Structure 1
């Protein structure tokens, strides 16, 4: 993948995908790896019905999500003890270092735009396998 030089605008079409550590397949978007971004990463995520991420957090980086279609639930907190529903039109903020685990427990695909303050697609992802049992399958 090529990296843009400073001062160049870039356009990315969400066609290529990559498998994230979290267990989802993401559409490649804006990242240091694709555009040379210095402080932001943004990509598209489609979660199929029944799709579930692995428990994780983004070390030292904030996340903002805009739900375009569908509905998801997200368990979050030190023991994933909190629950948040997000539907089309909702914006979700996840502070840095907060454990979370999103799930599409509906019958239709959920689609979201995700942006993080980490310019890399996956470097700040920290898996938390010890929290998997906190959320029944």
Structure 2
């Protein structure tokens, strides 16, 4: 997504199409839409995430930022907690909340279908608050 000029970022209502997909620090595919970069957002970003069949994120957390997701298609599981010892499952039509600073590792529970979700986070810059947790990489192989 091309960087907007300062004039373009004046707060106003905008229609935005998802930008080109990129692979985030978490090793998942994201299509950014609403963000500080695209519309000058100050406290939120909104984007799509796609987890391929059998795919999973690197264990991570978002420093000081809450996350909410809506699963559009597919099924996902997520390990969470200080040692990734807790688990939830979500499927199309479910909402999921992740508190700020919560270690988590989402994965696609299907070996044949993508899991696609809409993500909203209180960080207007998607990748800035991502903290990878390599010490948890072996928790769920």
Normalising by structure 1, what TM-score? 0.95
2:139 to 124, 134, 137: 134
Counterparts of 2:60 and 2:126, CA distance in 1: 14
- Identify the residue that residue 2 of structure 1 maps to in structure 2: 4
Alignment partners' CA distance in 1, 2:32 and 2:9: 19
What is the aligned length? 136
Aligned to 1:122: 127
Deviation at 1:5, TM superposition (A): 2.6
Write out aligned runs for 1:27-106 (5 A): 27-106=31-110
> Which range moves more in the overlay, 52-61 or 22-31?
22-31
Task: Measure how far apart 1:37 and its partner are.
Answer: 0.2
CA contact (8 A) 1:30 1:42 kept: yes
Any idea what the Cα deviations from partners look like across 1:14-70, whole Å, max 9, x if unmatched? 241222110011002111011100000110111110111000000000000000111
Matched residues in 1 for 2:9 and 2:101: separation?
30
Return the TM-score normalized by structure 2: 0.92
Q: Which contiguous aligned blocks of 4+ residues in structure 1 show a shift greater than 3 angstroms?
A: none
| Residue 10 of structure 1: how far off its partner (Å) | 1.9
CA distance in 1, matches of 2:113, 2:16: 26
